[in-house]
Amino acid sequence: MEFSREINNFIDEYVSALKEGNAAIFAGAGLSIPSGVVNWKELLRRPASRLGLDVDKESDLVSLAQYIYNDSKTKTPLTELINNHFSQTGRINRNHEIISELPIRTFWTTNYDKLIEQALIKAGKRPDVKKRVNDLAVIKSKRDAIVYKMHGDVEVADEAVLIKNDYELYEKNNQMFTIALKGDLVSKTFLFIGFSFEDPNLEHILSRIKILLDDHTRTHYYFIKEVAEEDYPNNAEGKEQFQYDKIRQELKCADLERYSIKPLIVKKYEDITAILETITERYNRNNVLISGSAHEFNDYKVSGINAEDFVHKLSKTLNQKELKIATGFGVGVGSAVINGVLEGMEESGTRNINEHLIMRPFPQYATNGKEIGQLWEEYRQQLISECGIVIFMFGNKLTKKEESDEDIVVEANGVIREFDIAVDKNVKVIPIGVTGYASRKLWELVINDFHRYYPEFPYLKDKFIKLGEDGIEFNQLIKIVTDIVIEIRGGE
């Protein structure tokens, strides 16, 4: 989908923050509402009515919670609301999945539910959850992300931040959370997601940012759904309320700038998911899978270098363009990929191989009650989901004729399958046709229907045509492949 200039600029900034390890999420109730979690206003509806109040007429829900506390002289009715609702409802939604799969190590939330932690675990990560101040002193070993639950957790509902008293004493009782938040606001780029203008927590958080940082903060971002006329009754009263809310939203957006928070206006809530998916897609374009296998190289038609040295040199060149290279250890290809990346690392003086190489050797026999074909399919799906670009080369394997024991070389159906998976996942495909075999077939598919595969890059077709030009000089070919990858990634 098409995004506004402001949102495209945000996507670029946030992808850069992800690459640098400086991206963070601040989640409000709206992140969990699509999961079936009722917002705080709805939870307070019944206890408010017992006091003779209409929750729809109340904007200060913190004060409303205080009134409920004052009436019973205990937080029990409020903590029971949390226990009864948040421990029994909610499921991970698509936005939870996306943010948990991205390389984000810092999550802050005012939510009491456990959906962020559950999503991280589902993504194969180990969350270190901070529910209380005392948790800050304990570091979970081998943690992949920290989840700061600054207003508490359903498991300790009696300690949750709920009423005016809690907010007034927050700095005294939760000072270490405040200090940790201040450090992250200075050093990371936050995306505030799931907050609304009616959420009382937002005002408290924004004022805290202003006090904490005294205008010395990074730029952060905040999703806002545009006030839309179709959401209002088609009568004079509805039109008047629409105009009022529209003006109020414009003023609110301008006010957010005081806190170095740039509003990101979306037409509908589903746009947020599309934006997050685009962030994932663009971030993954820094990861390039080299797909291929080669029992032989007889159809290889590149001049000036042998096949394995070509793979080595291409891998090295891509690595030195700050791209992470992925390999599944394809026969005749995987070793050359690894050697090329290692040489590039040595020349650039870097040692952390995890920043340069993704290695996923395929299992060689069935395990856990799964057939080998099923395991390979799962490996392919997972590996390609971590990448935004796949380069295909060669693609042949040795097999036996059905009617005899004679060995023959055929197209590698695994390489073709990886092409299909990549296309299904909207991963960009670059078949190098001059390497022959399955890659030649895939190159012809792309060239003959180029707009299908590259609707946003029509000007790259001439470069793709060169990828099938027999006898092309290897340096020229490497430059063309590198230029295509850099263009897809979004520049140097």
Quickly tell me which residue has 């699509």 as its tokens.
34
Q: What is the pLDDT of residue 210?
A: 73
Decide which of 368 and 421 is more confident.
Answer: 421
Secondary structure of residue 410 in the 3-state scheme: strand
| Residue 440 pLDDT exceeds 90 | yes
Q: What is the mean pLDDT of residues 446-474?
A: 96
The chain-wide mean pLDDT, for the chain, equals: 90
∠ CA 457-460-462, nearest 5°, is 150
> Whose CA is closest to 185, among 165, 211, 160?
211
Q: What is the 3-state secondary structure (H, E, C) of 8-68?
A: HHHHHHHHHHHHHCCEEEEECHHHCHHHCCCCHHHHHHHHHHHCCCCHHHCCCHHHHHHHH
| Residue 200 pLDDT exceeds 80 | no
Q: What are the residue ranges spanned by the domains of the chain?
A: 5-282, 286-489
pTM confidence score: 0.86
- Rounded CA separation 436/98 (Å): 37
Q: Which of 39-48, 179-188, 277-286, 354-363 has the highest mean pLDDT?
A: 277-286
Q: What is the pLDDT of residue 350?
A: 85
Q: What is the mean pLDDT of residues 401-411?
A: 81
Q: How confident is the model at residue 203 (pLDDT cuts 50, 70, 90)?
A: low
| Residue 198 pLDDT exceeds 60 | no
The answer to whether 127 and 121 have CB atoms below 8 angstroms apart is yes
Instruction: Express as a percent the part of the chain with pLDDT over 90.
Output: 58
The CATH number of the domain covering residues in 286-489: 3.40.50.450
Instruction: Give catalytic residue positions.
Output: 151
Q: What is the mean pLDDT of residues 374-395?
A: 92
